[in-house]
């Protein structure tokens, strides 16, 4: 799917469900400036990766930080070490690590302050991370576009404040 999206010059991808299967609806503009839309089928295993990215990942650096921690598990990483690998400043990296920790995707290492590592919680979670990494490596443009097409974190936090929950008796 990533190759088809890149080759087509896809400008906007929307992931939709049609008949229980996930499909990517893509819009592109041809050389004659006419808009064209088409639908690409996705792998059912890919649905889980897309859901994970949509629900748990807020930025490309956040995904890359998580993947680095996962690839080098159980080695602990400091914000400054990770910042050098991600080519971003240490403060931004520290915020990313805190956010990933808050989401339960990484844990604080017991040895040092401000040190984090990926900790295997289940085989299913590890398999999902392997699929996320493989999909990101193979389809970096599609996954990056998916992340950037999400509303900003501020907008999502604002919307979350208005969600109604059922009160427990």
Span 103-158, pLDDT tens digits: 999 999 877 778 898 987 888 888 999 999 999 999 989 888 888 887 666 666 67
CA torsion through residues 109, 79, 92, 140, sign? negative
58/138 same-domain check? yes
CA torsion through residues 102, 56, 86, 136, sign? positive
116 domain-assigned: yes
29/89 same-domain check? no
| Nearest C-alpha neighbor of 58 from the set 112, 97, 108 | 97
22/96 same-domain check? no
9/82 same-domain check? no
pTM of model > 0.85 = no
């Amino acid at each position: 799917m990533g190759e088809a999206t890149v080759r087509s010059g896809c400008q906007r991808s929307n992931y939709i469900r049609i008949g229980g299967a996930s499909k990517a609806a893509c819009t592109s503009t041809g050389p004659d400036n006419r808009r064209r839309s088409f639908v690409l089928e996705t792998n059912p295993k890919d649905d889980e990766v897309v859901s994970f990215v949509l629900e748990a990942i807020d930025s490309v650096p956040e995904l890359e930080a998580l993947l680095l921690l996962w690839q080098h598990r159980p080695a602990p990483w400091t914000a400054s070490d990770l910042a050098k690998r991600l080519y971003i400043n240490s403060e931004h990296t520290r915020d990313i690590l805190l956010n990933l920790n808050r989401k339960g995707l990484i844990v604080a290492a017991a040895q040092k302050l401000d040190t984090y590592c990926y900790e295997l919680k289940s085989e299913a979670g590890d398999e999902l991370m392997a699929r996320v990494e493989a999909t990101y490596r193979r389809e970096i443009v599609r996954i990056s576009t998916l992340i950037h097409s999400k509303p900003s974190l501020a907008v999502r936090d604002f919307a979350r404040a208005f969600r109604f929950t059922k009160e427990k008796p």
